[in-house]
Structure 1
Amino acid sequence: MRPPTRAPENRTDRRRAKTRQALIDAARTLIADGRAATASIADITATADVGFGTFYNHFDDKKSLFDAAIDQILEALGDHLDTVADRTADPADAFATSFRHAGRLAIAHRQTAEIIDSYGFVLMESPTGLGPRAHRDLSAAVDAERLQIDNVDLATAITGGHLLALVHAWLADPTSVTEADVDASVETLLRSFGMSAAAARRLAHRTLEPLG
């Protein structure tokens, strides 16, 4: 787990942190709306409701802002998923549970879903978020002889493809994807990674404890 972020110590620091977060929130909105590529600094500061001149007090350019916005989303997702591995000694269970939680989080928050859909496999390749955790758990499951995978990198990418497909379909029609579909998807993944049908079904559909 990451150490807790230290709260700003005085009024100036708190105001600066609030402005920085407003800019990041604006970036997240623009990414979700599909306007990140065309947005100007003026568009960003207007969306954030902060002065134009304050932008460069926090970020060097648009790319550094949007990178910070993506990192924040992935870190939040990663922090949620980090609690899963601590609850089970079975890496296959950790993989399945993490995927189920990630899918639920994605289809419960439209902004997050829009960003995942927009950035696709770039997010899976990030050092934070679902990608490295899926790779970690899959590798551990292979070592524990819980799964049979020849290429863990490819299996991680396939996992990302399943999540992206769920998100894309949900954005097109929120009634078309449910939590049951997320569970069915991870059941398919487990079976394709060498787990028996009965074992995969048990892991994919067992009672899911809340995160946190």
Structure 2
Amino acid sequence: MQQDSGRRTNRERTETTRSALIDAARRLFVEKSYAETGTPEIVAAAGVTRGALYHHFADKQALLRAVIEAESEAVASDIQASAPRTLPPREALVEGGTAFLAAMATPGRTRLLLLDGPAVLGRTAMDEIDARHGNRTLREGLAAAMRAGAIRKLPLDALTSQLGAMFDRAALAIEAGDDPQRHVDVITAVVDGLRPA
């Protein structure tokens, strides 16, 4: 019988260190901005060595990418929880859009995903990340709605891209103090406007 030695495995230590770096970087990037945060601050906040940082990430930009990936995954998870496949397609699109706006209200998220991420990583890298997460959920919802006849058949990639941009602009407006309900109302009207004639 194997006994628990109380020691962590290499994999557990690796994950703990990686998570500490991502959490510390996120906190500092939100508090100070990506540009104003130095790697010495990140390793100090994470309680790890500089060598540990560079063992896990090639540079500060790679660490930002990991932060962006984690934030994007959290947004997609919130959308999926709010818009399960059991909802009718129209309601799933509205609930998914509303969930996106709520998820983006997490402090610092709009700055990370819509400002710092594109500025540092570039639009192509951000589109790749979004295609795995938030835009993936939107694309799947639109495709399901088209298959069900709940919305008109339109070019799926173009529709996903344009609606995704609309949601991003709404998140920025809400971050700046606009009333979220106004944007939920617009999401609902746009989804209803996609119904077949």
**TM-score category (smaller protein):** 0.7 to 0.9
For 2:37 and 2:187, the matched residues in 1 are separated by 38
Task: Report what 2:176 is aligned to.
Answer: 169
Task: Report what 1:110 is aligned to.
Answer: 107
1:138 maps to a residue whose letter is: L
For 2:136 and 2:10, the matched residues in 1 are separated by 37
CA change 1:89–1:70 in 2 (3 A) is same
Task: Report what 2:149 is aligned to.
Answer: 145
- In structure 2, the gaps of 5 or more residues are 1-6
Task: Report what 2:88 is aligned to.
Answer: 90
CA change 1:157–1:72 in 2 (3 A) is same
For 2:47 and 2:166, the matched residues in 1 are separated by 40
1:15 aligns with 2:19: no
Q: 1:187 pairs with 173, 185, 188, which one?
A: 185
For 2:93 and 2:49, the matched residues in 1 are separated by 44
2:151 maps to a residue whose letter is: L
Count of aligned pairs between the two proteins: 177
Q: What percent identity do the matched residue pairs reach?
A: 24
**In structure 2, the residue corresponding to 1:110 is in which secondary structure?**
coil
Contact 1:22 1:48 in 2 (8 A): yes
CA change 1:156–1:53 in 2 (3 A) is closer
**In structure 1, the residue corresponding to 2:115 is in which secondary structure?**
helix
Q: TM-score, normalised by structure 1?
A: 0.68
CA change 1:116–1:37 in 2 (3 A) is same
Task: Report what 2:48 is aligned to.
Answer: 50
**In structure 2, the residue corresponding to 1:127 is in which secondary structure?**
helix
Contact 1:32 1:118 in 2 (8 A): no
Task: Report what 2:3 is aligned to.
Answer: none
Contact 2:21 2:46 in 1 (8 A): yes
Task: Report what 2:4 is aligned to.
Answer: none
Q: Deviations over 1:177-205 (max 9, x none)?
A: 4xxx34x4233123234449xxxxxxxxx
After superposition, the CA RMSD in angstroms is 2.9
For 1:14 and 1:120, the matched residues in 2 are separated by 28
Q: Deviations over 1:114-156 (max 9, x none)?
A: 4245347759732233222123212332343323475513233
Task: Give how far 1:62 is off.
Answer: 1.6
- In structure 1, the gaps of 5 or more residues are 1-8, 171-175, 197-212
1:97 maps to a residue whose letter is: E
